[in-house]
Amino acid sequence: MKAEIDEASFPHSPQCRDNKQKDGVPEPPGGLQNDSEVIPDWKEQEWDTEKPESYAGIFHFRFWRFGEWVDVVIDDRLPTVDNQLVYCHSNDSNEFWSALVEKAYAKVYGCYEALDGGNTADALVDFTGGVSEPADLLEGQMATDEVARNQLFERVLKVHNRDGLISCSIRATTIEDMEARLDCGLVKGHAYAVTDVKKVRLGHGLLAFFKSEKLHMIRMRNPWGEKEWSGPWSDSSEEWNKVSKSEREKLGVTVQDDGEFWMTFDDFCQYFTDLIMCRLINTSYLSIHKTWEEEVMRGSWVHRQDPLRNRSGGCINHKATFLQNPQYVFDVKKLEDEVLICLQQKEKRATPKEGKGENLAIGFDIHRVELNRKYRMHSAQQKVAGSIYINSRCVFLRKELQEGRYVIIPTTFDPGQQGDFLLRVFTDVPSDCKELTLDEPPQTCWTGMCGYPQLVTQVHVMNAEGLQGQENNGELHHLNTSKERLLSKSRAVDPYVIITCEGERVRSPVYKDTRCPNFDIKGLFYRKKPKEGIHIEIYNKNMIVDTFLGQVILFSDPNERQELHTLHLRDKGSRQDNDLPGTLTVRLITSTALTNI
């Protein structure tokens, strides 16, 4: 891209460094060769020597802002000193795309000065639309914990191989520490870009191939374009003699002070304190890589006096108001699934018309709830995960969750604070994420005829013990002799449970190869017929026809807040009073107030 350079374009800020790329402003991956979201239609915007009349002196860029790609238009006038670009620039004096991108980004935030010392994680998201995952290397004890360090390397390698952007830094604890150079050549308080992650083969020739010894290596670039790591595996160190010439050429090892250098991942974790991985979440079904299912929810924290309408309850420390926050339900439909959750607040410093202000301290909790929950939670359930609370623009959490239904509660740290937020949920299969807006079943024109619930009951099926075993062919034992009873105890089954109340059914996942399953599942029922029993049946999963293992029938009294039952399993039909092998432990909670559970 060609651009006019004009010294009078912008006032020169003495607070900005001369001839150095700004921290927190990453280069778009691939430059102009990447037909990316950031530089749309770059071929049409490129200077064409054959058609100079087509040049209009303006450029279009796009940045990901609060869930949308926003178009930013700038002219071609760039700030200079002595006819040299002041801020971000290319080594090629005739290449201007990086300076133009920086100008467009500065326009988003109001001025160039707003980019000084910006948040790297936010910038990576702005340029990619991905999600940033921070890693505290000190807190994770990565320098001393080899297992944790190797796991982190594999995550970093995967993010890099899937075109994610990675940044790292050495934390500065004082103002004097900012940009202080260590004896090893690294600079504190300075954002380094990770440009490559490799498992490097050591040795030479066929011996190296068969030996298969590999070193975990990471390559970084100082955005100043100078000042490099001077320790082991630096550009001119003797360690590179352990690697074949072909391997060095493949890695692109050069001996020059260009700001780019290699180091082992062990040394990296020894010196660096913070790592930011910006994942480019793949949602394309045409990709050979893992495809994620994305759900995007927009919401607001709004303070109201009415507890049932208030949506700004603060974090879980404020127990009286915590559940008044927005609530979002989603399903994990696999036995276990890695779930990525990103909560982003609308940034105030990028909206000068609304006035500048500090970001709110935000975070979220995840609660495992009843398998059929469809109304808002009014009592705390089983908390399975929670993010940190921080006044950054985005909060991220990666968590392995078991099959079931979950509710995310995004909150501000303190109650009564207001703002807009964006919630993004990524799962392996569709999660059917949606906001819970109703507090109880709505009253309709049919309520008078069909009736309205009088009670709400939570059924918590906890565990079973001593279920009846089966033969290898799937047939249950007929327990005629003591020997057969003993045999049946040694044969495991694949049980699952069904809870039925007034025609509504809740079914658990199948638990493999056990006669003592820890079901730990819940169902929630709004009941119009309080005297009708709640049926809980256990079945064994077979290839063709599932086998009945026993049942219990319960009646819940609202005067007893929590009832714990351990009951013997019974048969069906006319033999209902006959005991079958095994017991079932169940907890019931019943209330006449439909907004109590």
Q: Give every CB contact of residue 67 below 8 A, 6+ residues apart in sequence.
A: 296, 298, 344, 422, 424
Which two structure tokens, joined as six digits, stand for 569? 């399993």
Burial 173-208 (b: 16+ CB within 10 A, else e): eeeeeeeeeeeeebbbbbbbbbbebbebbebeeeeb
Helix (H) or strand (E) holding 534: strand 534-540
Q: Return the pLDDT at 464.
A: 95
Catalytic residues: 190, 222
CA dist., res. 93 & res. 407, Å (int): 54
Q: Return the pLDDT at 310.
A: 96
Q: Return the pLDDT at 26.
A: 37
CA dist., res. 52 & res. 58, Å (int): 14
Q: Return the pLDDT at 147.
A: 95
Q: Return the pLDDT at 537.
A: 96
User: Model pTM?
Assistant: 0.83
Q: Check: CB of residue 107 under 8 Å from CB of residue 100.
A: no
Q: Is residue 462 exposed (0-12), middle (13-18) or buried (19+ Cβ within 10 Å)?
A: middle
- DSSP assignment of 105-119: HHHHHTSSGGGTT--
Q: Return the pLDDT at 450.
A: 74
CATH code of domain 451-591: 2.60.40.150
**Residue 210 backbone dihedrals phi, psi, to 5 degrees:** -80, -30
CA dist., res. 581 & res. 575, Å (int): 14
CA dist., res. 562 & res. 558, Å (int): 9
CB atoms within 10 A of CB 109: 17
Q: Return the pLDDT at 288.
A: 67
Q: Do domains 132-279 and 293-435 have the same CATH topology?
A: no
Length of the chain: 597
Q: List the chain domain ranges.
A: 31-128, 132-279, 293-435, 451-591
Range list of H helices, 26-145: 42-45, 97-109, 120-128
Per-residue tens of pLDDT for the chain, all 597 residues? 544 434 333 333 322 323 333 333 333 333 333 346 888 887 778 877 888 888 888 899 999 999 999 999 999 999 999 988 998 888 788 888 889 999 999 999 889 988 887 788 888 999 999 999 999 999 999 999 999 999 999 999 999 988 889 999 999 888 888 888 899 989 998 889 999 999 887 766 555 555 666 889 999 998 776 778 989 988 778 888 888 777 777 777 665 667 889 999 999 999 999 999 998 887 776 666 667 889 999 999 999 999 999 999 999 999 999 999 999 999 999 999 999 999 999 877 655 555 456 889 999 999 999 999 999 999 999 999 999 999 989 999 999 999 999 999 999 999 999 999 999 999 988 999 999 999 999 987 777 677 889 999 999 999 999 998 876 444 554 444 444 444 444 578 999 999 999 999 999 999 999 999 999 999 999 999 988 999 999 999 998 999 999 999 998 777 666 778 899 999 987 555 668 899 999 999 999 999 999
CA dist., res. 394 & res. 339, Å (int): 16
DSSP bridge partners of 132: 278
CA dist., res. 133 & res. 137, Å (int): 13
Domain 132-279 has CATH 3.90.70.10: yes
Q: Check: CB of residue 260 under 8 Å from CB of residue 228.
A: yes
Q: Return the pLDDT at 459.
A: 95
Q: Return the pLDDT at 280.
A: 85
Q: Give every CB contact of residue 373 below 8 A, 6+ residues apart in sequence.
A: 329, 405, 407, 436, 524
Query: What Rg do the C-alpha atoms of the chain give, in angstroms?
Result: 31
Domain 293-435 has CATH 2.60.120.380: yes
